Amino acid sequence: MKIEERTDNPEPLLNIVPSWLPWALFIAALLQIAVRVWALGGFSAIYREGGLTMVIGWGILNPLWSALAVQFVAVYLAIEFIAPWRLYHSDIGIDFLDPEGLGGLRPIGELVKHAYYYMVAGLVAFALVLYGPIVSAASWGPTATTSIVFTVIWLGTVATVAFAVFILHLFMRKEKRLELHRLNEIRREIIDKPWDIKAYNVDEEKQDQLNELQQRIDTVSATQEYPATFSIWSQLLISIVLPKAFQLLLASV
């Protein structure tokens, strides 16, 4: 997007992950693990029930896994929440000369989509872990609470991508309306009686200026507001429906 060339303050849009966010998520993950261990009766009870393997799992492997997971989640939240919000409040503007007609925002739009696709893959894997015992005909399986937890997580991911898409749409809509308003004000100064289609007049000396201005207005008007194409909409809708549909399929087996 050539951010360095389009704004006087590119830093907020180049480094979108706050340094405190991964730490906050990691501490929350450790607290969740600690609460779970306490609910199970502590490490002594875990050792009696599952042996040293379970103690290592709860005491070492789970925190290590959480350290990796929170890095991904921190980047994901920054892409879906922080980046669109900072873009909306920046002075970067819209590239109305973008040949794709997307205002030069396809890179951030693709980033938002692909980050969500990774989350969808994670949800599908999560569903396999949760409902695998049923598929393999094991003697135990997930409860109603399992379905509720999965649904809550799924709705949370839908909310994140919906927020990102909505903010990008508002940003493009705002920038487009402001530029059209500015160009229209200039056009009204060139035309005599601009409010009357039957009586308006343009001096011959200003005709070339008006033609150039009209080309600019047409270029701005042709810029689509994200998500603009059927391809973008269809990809987002399929990725939103897929995890829940997959979970319902596994639950019905």
pLDDT of residue 85: 94
Summarised one tens digit per residue, pLDDT across range 7-58 is 888 888 888 999 999 999 999 989 988 888 888 788 888 888 778 888 888 8
Token pair recorded at residue 208: 């070339």
- pTM here? 0.80
pLDDT of residue 5: 84
Summarised one tens digit per residue, pLDDT across range 85-134 is 999 998 888 889 888 888 888 888 889 989 999 999 988 888 887 776 54
Any idea what DSSP says for residue 15?
-
Residue 245 pLDDT > 90: no
Respond yes or no on whether the N-terminal peptide bond of residue 227 is cis (omega within 30° of 0): yes
Mean of all residue pLDDT scores within the chain: 84
pLDDT of residue 139: 42
Cα–Cα nearest to 2, from 110, 113, 104? 104
Mean pLDDT of 179-187: 92
Residue 228 pLDDT > 60: no
SS3 183: helix
SS3 60: helix
pLDDT of residue 224: 84
- Residue 133, C-beta contacts closer than 8 angstroms, at least 6 positions apart: 140, 141, 142
State the pLDDT confidence band at 178, using cuts at 50, 70 and 90: very high
The rounded distance, in Å, linking the Cα atoms of 98 and 172 is 13
Q: Packing angle between helix 144-190 and helix 230-252, nearest 10 degrees?
A: 170
Summarised one tens digit per residue, pLDDT across range 139-157 is 445 667 778 888 888 899 8
Residue 216 pLDDT > 60: yes
Cα–Cα nearest to 111, from 152, 91, 81, 90? 81
Summarised one tens digit per residue, pLDDT across range 55-90 is 888 888 888 988 988 999 999 999 999 999 999 998
Residue 230 pLDDT > 70: no
Q: Give the Cβ contact number of residue 230 at 10 Å.
A: 8
